[in-house]
Structure 1
Amino acid sequence: MTEEESTVSRKFCSWVSANRSDASRRRALRWMQLCVTGFVSIVIVVVMWCDWSSPLPATYLGSERSYPPAMNTTHINGKPMERVVTNYTNNIFFTVKTSMKNYRKRLTLLMLTWFQVVDKNKVAVISDSLKAGQLYVSTIRDAGFNLILSNCSNMHSAEALCCKSGAEFGAYYEAVKKHNENKERYQWFCHVDDDVYVNVPRLSQLLQQYDPHKPYYIGKWPWVAHHNHSFTKLNSVRLHRIRSMNYPIKANTFKYATGSTYCLSHALMMEAKQFFNGKDNFYASCRLALFTDDIAIGLIIGVILGYNLTDVNDFHNQYDDMASTSVEEISKYITVGYQMKLKDEVKVYYNTIPIQSPFVKDSTKFMAYHCLLYPSVSWCPRHLPF
């Protein structure tokens, strides 16, 4: 073999060896990528399984977590779901609109607090689906509360809100039909969002001022409507849609109650049944309003049926400024709420009622408010800081 041939042979062998090494490295890299991807996928599945199937998590004295507590059928984080006996008139049917993602964050807190003041048979919790896990659904139902799975979307969209509102109205009509021999049980329908605390005795005192056998629409006109009248005007598109359905037009403007809380008398519920009863009927009503459920309710009651909103300022929600109110004023509120926002990927609660909570983690102040109203509850501290 000549020197030139030997040189070519050596170069060829080096090239083959280098390519083999590159191929081995590529194969090894691919295997490493597959292993990492598989490991990450397994971790994600395990975390999701733990998140949805573990007991509802925790917040109270000594806890460092910022969400509501672990719960079984009688206790939440070791604290009993203790019934509170009051002398309020027991003729209100409550519906609470929630979502599967809020079962442990919001709903458990309501079950520990103001749900314990009302008749469990007169509270219907309207959620979206079973995707949150059978454990959550069973626990809530075993605690004695009526959880209705509407199969509506869990998004905060106009379609999803209208769908759930239709399910809420349907729950009321079904309860009235079931107890037709005792109509006095359901003289009022009251809707509540899952981020609202209801001062039940104060609500009862308010409703006793009105005759449920007459049409009443009671709530709070939202501040945004004071500044943007396009929400409450009967524009040409709305007018055309109402006329195309051969509905009467009794007013050109209307007021609506903020969607956090409102109450309708039995007489009004019966008169509005063709618009409200069931998801399909109410979704069609929302299309008339071209907006969300609360505006659709105001339009139907104000424009088609011809009744005005009874505006009650003591229905407070997350948009009201709570900072300047006193403890005495707060105790007279019918409802309170709070706001929440993400700051550096951490949930921050603000615009809550201005009282000092005796609990380590009570971001919404709902537990403190419950103790303010019902200090004899066993899990409330003997000496309150307000």
Structure 2
Amino acid sequence: MIFKNCVLHSIAGNTLLRQRRSKELLHRLGDSVPPATGISQLNPKYDLGKTLRRTKIAQLQPEDIFIAVKTTGRFHSSRLALLLDTWISRTKEHTYIFTDTKEEDYVLKGFNIVLTNCSPEHSHQALSCKMSAEYNTFMASDKKWLCHVDDDNYVNPRVLLSLLSAFPPDSDIYVGKPSLDRPIRAHELLSNNKTREVEFWFATGGAGFCLSRRLAHKMAPWASGPRFEQTSAVIRLPDDCTVGFIVERRLGIPMVHSPLFHSHLENLQLLSPSQIPLQVTLSYGLFENKMNSVVLRGTFSSEDDPSRFKTVHCLLYPLTNWCP
């Protein structure tokens, strides 16, 4: 199987230490993550209702979040159009779509389309090129958070806002979900063609992740301008791995692990219907040669809504004009 994000041979290393750091940070916030069947929990005492009541969401506004969607021309009609009709319709003003193909119709409809000069290929270089564009565009904005997602993700804006509101302002936060339960091992290219083995956690891009502005600013020596692509070449890994490398290895800042983010590389059917509205992101796609999506009953059939994104959207926003 060819994974679209960096899923490599990993080792345990400092797993317990890193998980404990994430748990302690979330404990200091007074929050963690809602229970999700089949997912390792950092704090099983989490109560989303209590979090929503205690969190001063007004301090962080939806427009403070820069949501970057990475896509490519061949997926505009099959993937992106679905997102535009569903969750992006609720976050249109502060969602930016990074693509390699001009789509005049989307621009005329008022969507923020960022045309990169990146290759449409699904290579390490092309992926890092688009992530570099995301980072640089965010840094040129006045937004407080950069949240990256792929074109097969559904974002729940309200839960995203609640999660990010729980973190102290002006803190160094890199939050997302790793592909595995252990750090990856990579080989950093040194001078004279020598290498050294490094290990670090990274948040898989296929589930989405967020970076605070304070942390993004600290990443600049390895991420601004052309530097992100150069750093990616040093470890010869894709974009999401490169973010983890910069944050954990270059800056020494631990990733905050959250099971609220989901990619198609996990069994999405393990999420119960009652848990689905509590997640930051969902996904869909083929997993072990079978369609992998959340299980949620609704008026849309599996043929009409294989991703179940329409069904989820109508659950969250039942007054949407095309919802049954």
Q: Same fold (TM over 0.5)?
A: yes
**Aligned pair 1:271/2:218, yes or no?**
yes
**Aligned pair 1:317/2:317, yes or no?**
no
Matches within 5 A, 1:1-386: 89-90=61-62, 91-118=64-91, 120-130=92-102, 137-176=103-142, 186-223=143-180, 226=182, 231-233=184-186, 235=187, 238=188, 240=190, 253-260=199-206, 261-278=208-225, 280-340=226-286, 350-360=291-301, 361-381=304-324
Q: Shift in Å at residue 152 of structure 1?
A: 0.8
Q: Distance in 2 between matches of 1:201 and 1:104?
A: 26
Contact 2:124–2:236 (CA under 8 A) maintained in structure 1 = no
Deviations 1:187-228 (A, max 9, x none): 1100010000001101111111112411110100112x63xx
The equivalent residue for 2:38 is none
Deviations 1:292-338 (A, max 9, x none): 11111111110111100000011111112122332111111111101
Structure 1 counterpart of 2:213, one-letter code: H
Structure 1: which 5+ residue stretches go unaligned?
Answer: 1-85, 131-136, 177-185, 344-348, 382-386
Contact 1:220–1:257 (CA under 8 A) maintained in structure 2 = yes
Q: Distance in 2 between matches of 1:195 and 1:257?
A: 16
Moved more, 281-290 or 306-315: 281-290
- Number of corresponding residues: 262
Identity of aligned residues (%): 31
TM-score normalized by the length of structure 2 = 0.75
The equivalent residue for 1:83 is none
The equivalent residue for 1:68 is none
Q: Distance in 1 between matches of 2:108 and 2:286?
A: 30
The equivalent residue for 1:21 is none
Structure 2: which 5+ residue stretches go unaligned?
Answer: 1-56
Which entry has the higher C-alpha Rg, 1 or 2? 1
Q: Shift in Å at residue 259 of structure 1?
A: 1.0
Contact 1:275–1:285 (CA under 8 A) maintained in structure 2 = yes
Q: Distance in 2 between matches of 1:284 and 1:113?
A: 36
TM-score normalized by the length of structure 1 = 0.63
Q: Distance in 1 between matches of 2:280 and 2:320?
A: 20
Contact 1:128–1:150 (CA under 8 A) maintained in structure 2 = yes
Q: Distance in 2 between matches of 1:167 and 1:221?
A: 23
The equivalent residue for 2:41 is none
Q: Distance in 2 between matches of 1:337 and 1:99?
A: 17
Q: Secondary structure at the match of 1:192?
A: strand
Name the Cα RMSD after superposition. Answer: 2.6
Q: Secondary structure at the match of 1:232?
A: strand
Q: Distance in 1 between matches of 2:281 and 2:204?
A: 12
Contact 1:241–1:288 (CA under 8 A) maintained in structure 2 = no
Q: Distance in 1 between matches of 2:112 and 2:250?
A: 32
Q: Distance in 1 between matches of 2:299 and 2:278?
A: 21
Q: Distance in 1 between matches of 2:185 and 2:215?
A: 20
Structure 1 counterpart of 2:210, one-letter code: C
Deviations 1:80-135 (A, max 9, x none): xxxxxx988321001100000011111111111111222x33211100134xxxxx
Q: Distance in 1 between matches of 2:151 and 2:191?
A: 32
Q: Distance in 2 between matches of 1:169 and 1:308?
A: 19
Change (3 A) 1:217 1:358: same
The equivalent residue for 2:46 is none
RCO (CA 8 Å, sep 6+): is it higher in 1 or 2? 2
